[in-house]
Structure 1
Amino acid sequence: MPETPAAAPAALLTHAQSVSSRIVDDIVTLVGHETSSYDLPALASGLDLLRDLTVQRLGRPDREERHPGGACGDTLTLTYEGTGPGHLALVGHYDTVWPTGTLSGWQQPEPSADGREKLSGPGIFDMKSGLAQGIWALKLARESGTPLPTVTFLFNGDEEIGSLSSRPVIEATAQGVDATLVLEPSAHGAVKTARKGTGIFQVTATGVESHAGLAPEDGASAITALAEFVVAAAAVADPAQGTTINTGLFKGGSGINVVAGHATAGVDIRVSSAAEQARVDAELDAIKVSDPRVRIDIDHAWNRPPMTLGPASVPLLTLAREVARSQGRPSLPDTAVGGASDANFIAALGLPVLCGMGAVGNGAHAKGEYIYPDTIPEQTALVAGMLGGAAEGGAWAGR
């Protein structure tokens, strides 16, 4: 490969194209091992597989630490010393939303209307393709001969359930590097510079049990009251401001002939600003139900803060666009999306971060999620080119 700085980004793309089938093989290997967020044995062996694959492609890391996740999947950090200045983190989760056993019934999709091949599998889009592409990005950048920063990979196994154990590791890692690239899937090729904040609220209704036939008037139905609450909560949403509220889980009662004394609901909340977060908190607390004998308790569990494109991240976006342009892309758009990721934590600290550096495809969390294999070379080369650019130091002018 050419070693001159001007030629390196374009040569990286050519190299990525030549090894694209090998990158696909690694993606298929990762997808072939299911890693549901709730299956600890599968997560443990899946992380072992991911570590072994990284070592096969890059050799043994200079530093390695496995952080126990307790009730969640472990978090693994692998650091490879660079040949130039700077330190970059590549972050991605290996857990998926899919229950163990989903793979056996999975079907491959037909090509798209324009004939483009699709490749499907549980977690292939969100986000095992990004993991493989990140590993190969460092491999290709190394083989180009250009000076590179130190690179730390962070693989966590609990992102889909809120990064409950990995958040401190993510934040500490991000604070110890110059910038972070999150290998989540792209938005149809665009990088993600803004994401909504998320709340995972648990709402509990405590009523009074009684016999539904003999003495219904003695009871105070927790189910009825909670149903009133979730309808009122839905009205607090303001889609024009980017605020959505979805009750996704509802449980209650002890028997069909018993006025329910207990009920719970799980509520997913998405907001685009801290102001909306405060408004939602206040308005949910103000909801009243018709039967005063039922107590409503709300666990205001804000999981991820809103992410915006802060001043520290602007030079990183500029670098990404420069690399994309040098590799023949006419443009590299950025966008805001409704989903949250581990990039939210990093952005909230005021640190440089870009998200959506991974796969191009569609269908996250949907049966039939897929990637376009023909985009793997350019996405891998983009990250590889940014690693080379990072060693020049220009991306960190904002810190």
Structure 2
Amino acid sequence: MESSLDYTQANFESILQDVINLVNVETGSYDMAQLKEGCDAVEALFRERIGDPDIFERYSATGYGDTLALTYEGALPGHVMLIGHYDTVWPLGTLDAWGERASRSEDGRLKESGPGIFDMKTGLVQGIWSLKALKDRGIEHPTVTFLINGDEERGSVSSRPMIEEKAKEVDAVLVLEPTLDGRVKVARKGVAIVAVDAIGIEAHAGLEPAKGASAITALMEYCLAATRLADPAKETTINVGIVEGGSGSNVVAGHAHAVIDIRLKDPQEKDRLNEGFDAITWSDERVRIDTIRDWNRPPMVFNENSRVLLDVLKRSAQRMGRELGTAEVGGGSDANYVSALNIPVICGLGAVGGGPHARHEFIYPEEIPFYTALVADSLLDLPLLPGREAEVLSEHVS
């Protein structure tokens, strides 16, 4: 029987065209009209390529892109979820100003470029074609749910409850975010954002400086103290990314604002950091400092459940003559939410390329067939329940 890799290689041009078509629909995270058009395009692609889902849900939230949940019931036991997002960081009009779309790298490899092509519209299309590769060849599969959201680049604010709800119903989760140079992502740092507002007392800096209480000075003291909470040994980093305030050089600042980014690998670091922030003091008690701590994404931890899932993916890759590498990264994704529920999850099964969130964002198209086939074959090999021995089925069809 034709293997999954043979199938995806034979259909490579159609898969790549689907990617280009999705990239041509701009879906900036803050443009509701474009997000609706993009969500419509994604839904239409699912229905065109793999048919109407057995269960279809489309959720709307004011100010965010819609979230799709499409379930295709299978004859085999088990339930797998594939997660992806269609929103990008690029505003409307970026496509027209992008420039060259197809080129070659220094080593001669073909590159395809465009806003969102790497992060992560290629992964979306690969996920669709992975199930199509099984259906078109008449191969039975477990039940597959696709969870596709339109607010991932904004922290999955509206879709997080649905991600967590659907994840609790499945046996394993694969996230279609881009690879790291071809390696899948087994761990990600957690992310927190701390917004800091300092309210001081304005005064003339030359005539009556003592009557003023500088919000900027207090904010600097606060931010410096915050950065000292970082712990390189535990890979906990703290970055003050935004600082603004004051109204003039001759005015004691009455207001100042900062935004602090926290990345942590160890979930237990959250308690230490909270205590550390609570203990920060500043020299002028007349200044009031208010903070909002948004612990946006918990760390994605590589545990034993996910190790079993990784072994499945590695076996599938080996049958196609490839060794599958792994990576731990600092950026967060929706895999973080799944990991916190102790559900087997592997991220980074999408595109091979580079330049996420950059003007040179690109993919290597020739890698599409392998990673699409990898997901297809792994759907058949996935452990049906945590702790239950995997049923290796794809050996009979690859």
For Structure 1 versus Structure 2, the TM-score category normalised by the shorter chain is: over 0.9
Distance 2:369 2:70 in 1: 24
Q: Distance in 2 between matches of 1:81 and 1:255?
A: 64
Please state whether the residue corresponding to 2:268 is helix, strand or coil: helix
TM-score by length of 2: 0.92
Match status 1:143 vs 2:128? no
Aligned partners of 2:250, 2:320: CA distance in 1, in Å? 68
Residue 28 of structure 1 is matched in structure 2 by 20
Describe the SS at the equivalent of 2:191.
strand
Task: Give the one of 95, 117, 122 matched to 2:110.
Answer: 117
Distance 2:71 2:78 in 1: 13
Label 1:301 to 1:398 Cα distance change in 2 as closer, same or farther (>3 A): farther
More off after superposition, 105-114 vs 219-228: 105-114
CA distance in 1, matches of 2:30, 2:326: 33
Q: Say whether residues 1:386 and 2:397 are aligned partners.
A: no
String of CA shifts for 1:229-249, please: whole Å, max 9, x gaps: 223322322333211112222
Q: Please give the residue correspondences for 1:122-271 in structure 2 after superposition, counting only pairs within 5 Å.
A: 122-254=115-247, 257-271=250-264
Q: Percent identity?
A: 53
Structure with the largest fraction of helix:
1
Q: Distance in 2 between matches of 1:43 and 1:119?
A: 23
**TM superposition shift of 1:394:** 8.0
Contact 1:107–1:368 (CA under 8 A) maintained in structure 2: no
CA distance in 1, matches of 2:339, 2:357: 24
Counterpart residue identity of residue 397, structure 1: R
Q: 2:340 aligns with which of 337, 348, 359?
A: 348
* Aligned length, in residue pairs: 389
Asked if the contact 1:184/1:359 (under 8 Å) is kept, the reply is: yes
Match of 2:104, SS?
coil
Offset at residue 26 of structure 1 (A)? 1.0
Q: Deviations over 1:258-285 (max 9, x none)?
A: 4322222121110000232222222233
Judge conservation of contact 1:311–1:398 (CA < 8 Å) in 2: no
State whether residues 285 and 298 of structure 1, in contact with CA within 8 Å, keep that contact through their aligned partners in structure 2: no
Shift of 1:398: 7.2
Q: What pairs up with 1:5-154 in 2 under 5 angstroms?
A: 11-108=3-100, 110-154=103-147
1:282 to 271, 275, 281: 275
Kindly state the Cα deviation for residue 145 of structure 1 after the two structures are TM-superposed. 2.1
* SS of match in other structure, 1:245: strand
User: How much does 1:304 deviate?
Assistant: 0.9
For 1:330-349, what aligned pairs fall within 5 Å after superposition? 331-349=323-341
Residue aligned with 1:278, SS: helix
* Alignment-derived partner of residue 327 in structure 1: 320
Q: 1:382 Cα deviation (Å)?
A: 0.4
8 Å Cα contact 1:210-1:216 kept in structure 2: yes
Query: How far apart in 2 are the matches of 1:73 and 1:202?
Result: 24
Residue identity in the other structure for 1:290: S
Contact 1:12–1:384 (Cα < 8 Å) also in 2: yes
Looking at structure 2, the residues matched to 149 and 186 of structure 1 have their Cα atoms a distance apart, in angstroms, of 25
Q: CA offset at residue 110 of structure 1?
A: 4.5
CA distance in 1, matches of 2:237, 2:161: 27
Q: 2:61 & 2:319 partners in 1: Cα distance?
A: 41
Once the 2 structures are TM-superposed, how far is the Cα of residue 298 of structure 1 from its aligned partner? 2.1
Distance in 2, matches of 1:122 and 1:247, equals 28
The separation in 1 between residues aligned to 2:389 and 2:283, in whole angstroms, is 54
Distance 1:223 1:99, change over 3 A: farther
**Contact kept in structure 1, 2:171 and 2:385, CA below 8 Å:** no
